[in-house]
Structure formats: C-alpha cells, structure tokens
Amino acid sequence: MSTGTLLAIIIPVVVVLALIAVAMTVARRRRRLRDRFGPEYERTVEDAGSRKAAERDLAEREKRHDSLELRPLEDRERDKYAREWNGVQEEFVDRPEDAVHDADRLVTALMRARGYPTEDFDQQVRDLSVEHGRTLEHYRAAHEINTLSSRRQATTEQLRGAMVHYRALFDELLADGHRSGPAET
C-alpha cells in the first residue's frame, strides 16, 4: 500500500476514535453530574436553557463547594441540634407558625455550624445542591411556606408540610450528608 492510501485510512480512523473519546468523556461527565446533583441536575438544565450552560453552572458550584471549609459536627453538637429540633417539633402543637420560623432558623444555624455560608438563600441552595441535591426541593418548599407564613398566608397543613420539608434537610445535615438515619425524635 502506498503512503497516501495508508494516510487515507489512518486519518479518518484517528478522527473517529477521537470523536468517540470526546463523546465518552462528555457522557461520563454528564452521568457524574446527574448522580451527584440528582433532581437538581434537571432543574438546572431547565433553568439554564441548555445542558452545556447547566453543566458549566454545576461545575462552578462544585468548585465553590470544594473551597468551603465544611466540617463534621462533634457528637455533643449533633446531640444539641437534635434536642433543639425536638423542641421545635413540640412547639408546633401550640404555635405552628413560630415553629416553622424556628425550624428555618435552626436549619440555617446547622448549616452555619457545618461551614456553609448562610447570608443569601439562593447561594445557600447553590452550595447545598452539591451534596444535598436530593433534598433540596424540600428546602425550597419549606422556605416558600415560611415566606407565606411570614405574611400569615399559610394554612396549618402547609405549615405541617414545611416542618416535614425542613426535617428532611435537617436530618441530612445532622448526619453530615450521609444517610445514616433520622435524628432522634
């Protein structure tokens, strides 16, 4: 075979192999982001308008998250937060709106204790999405009901739902993001 014939065969094969490698890399990255962010992946794609923009946003979230100085709780801190949660739950019986506001403050305090910045709700959601993407919808729903409650527009059933939603994130944060079961009730 001549050199020209060999090049005519080799170059297309190399190009095809390179395209396959790129496609596999993109697919692997997409799968990793889906696995890590859970439902937050699709929500971000929908909000961003394109997969590429969403995946860039999620990668930026990971980078920021990696720069945070997150820390596990000591046993005594974990016990203190669990006791405080029990108190908030007991408060719900007589003062449901106050209990929901207290649940919000307690979740925020727990986030702060773990090392998450807590100044801005939208940034909280972005930071939490990296390790807690599967419970993030709970936090959003609870926050929305808490806002309604602040305007005295939430029903008792919505307030009860907010407590359940806050509890989902609370349990995950209390267990340092590992699914080791709910906090003592």
So what's the pLDDT on residue 181?
39
Q: Give residue 36's identity as a one-letter amino acid code.
A: R
Confidence of residue 169 (pLDDT cuts 50, 70, 90): very high
Alpha-carbon span 150 to 94, nearest angstrom: 17
Confidence of residue 7 (pLDDT cuts 50, 70, 90): confident
In three-state secondary structure terms, 47 is helix
Residue 29 has pLDDT above 90, yes or no: no
Average pLDDT across the chain, whole number: 90
Residue 79 has pLDDT above 90, yes or no: yes
**Tens digit of each residue's pLDDT (9 = 90 or more) over 98-145:** 999 999 999 999 999 999 999 999 999 999 999 998 899 999 999 999
- H helices within the chain, ranges in order? 3-37, 39-48, 51-67, 75-94, 96-114, 121-132, 136-150, 156-174
Residue 182 has pLDDT above 80, yes or no: no
Alpha-carbon span 100 to 141, nearest angstrom: 12
Confidence of residue 2 (pLDDT cuts 50, 70, 90): confident
Residue with the bigger pLDDT between 3 and 68: it is: 68
Confidence of residue 30 (pLDDT cuts 50, 70, 90): confident
Residue 1 has pLDDT above 50, yes or no: yes
**Across 157-174, average pLDDT:** 96
Judge if pTM exceeds 0.85: no
Query: Residue 161, CB half-sphere, CA atoms under 13 Å: how many?
Result: 16
Contact 64, 127 (CB under 8 A): yes
Contact 31, 18 (CB under 8 A): no
What would the two tokens of residue 73 be? 């709780």
